[in-house]
Amino acid sequence: MNSSTALNDHHCIQISNNATINKINSTSNGKTEDVTSERDISLKQPRLVSLDVFRGLTVALMVLVDHVGGILPGINHSPWNGISLADFVMPFFLFIVGVALSFAYKRFKCRVDLTKKATLRTLKLFIFGIVLQGGYFHGINNLTYGVDIQQIRLMGTLQRIAIAYLLTAVCEIWLKRDGVVKSGRSMLKKYKLQWIYVVVLTVTYTALLYGLHVADWEYQIPSENFSFSSNITSVNCGVRGDTGPACNAVGMIDRNLFGIQHLHKRPTYARTKECSMNSPVLHFKDHKDRILSWTMSAAGLVVVGFVSDLCGMHINKSLYSLSYTCVTGGAAGILFVGIYVMVDVLGFRKPTLVFEWMGKHALVIYILAACNVFPILLQGFYWKEPENNFLRLIGIGQS
């Protein structure tokens, strides 16, 4: 393949991060010389500080609800219908993924290569999630670890983010049309295929949630050591469109696709009264246009979400219902606009430096704090006996 053919391949358009424009001028003696233009055309976008701050704020929120949610149930995950502070964490992370992808893939180099990189990143994040959230670090207080492969949790938070990342990356890489955005109409035309993609996913999910017939099913009650006893419990369903904990279509699909032994051992609905006693963000260069566009879109999602909830499509984190997705996604957009105005427009960075730092090191903090790696490291140093560790000294982890 010659160079001209390679340049004409619309899947592999090579663009340098620091491209320059050169002119070839003829001199009086017939020779030619290269004349570099006075200014370099840099294609590298400045870092959006507000995105780092937003990511850091989300990490801080995650740490807060993980460690304080058990003490203050009001901020813990809603047991079923409804929404609480903890229910915003996952959507906020997904919002960050979407915004970051729109920056990363604004200009294509090679679509095939980008798809390979996105797939590799997805696999890394998914495997990472399996190790951290599959149950490997389950015995922190008694200094044990490990997980039975037959009982490992397959779909944790990182695994879900990995799948969402791959779907969004493929959408951004392959379904975005060429052309320059000069108006709202041209923007809709550029992202027409992406809108179709979103509508198809939304309609398909809603149709499955409310249209699938959920038959009766049974399960064995798990014990504390992750094994299953012989006590078999039957669940009578035989319904369609049920969005309760026992007979919803989402749970049926999960049980049949993964197996109940590979699902979360401590689901949020266990705290219900019945179960327990107890991306087009880059095309607007002007701050005013960006703020107006983002605010209108985000507010519209919030309105759609609450209207859907009033119409019977309950806000439900466990089911990731349409109303929950719209409300939390819209809330993420509104919060991001507020941070954008404060940090990138007005330049107030000092009050948010901690969150900015946390945002740049989000994955490390997530591993240390949310996945219990930090407590494990602290327990690894002890005096004479494993029980004489730092956490026991300050009164944490005592049985």
Rounded (10°) angle between helices 49-68 and 89-104: 160
pLDDT of residue 12: 53
Q: What is the pLDDT of residue 300?
A: 93
pTM of the full structure: 0.73
Half-sphere exposure (Cβ direction) of 135: Cα atoms closer than 13 Å: 19
CA-based nearest residue to 338, from 64, 45, 54: 54
pLDDT at 195: 92
* pLDDT, position 67: 82
pLDDT < 50 positions in the chain: 1-11, 13-43, 226-227, 277-280, 399
Residue 20: its pLDDT value, please? Answer: 38
Q: How far apart are CA 64 and CA 84, in angstroms?
A: 13
In this structure, what token pair is assigned to residue 207? 């149709």
Residue with tokens 């705290």: 271
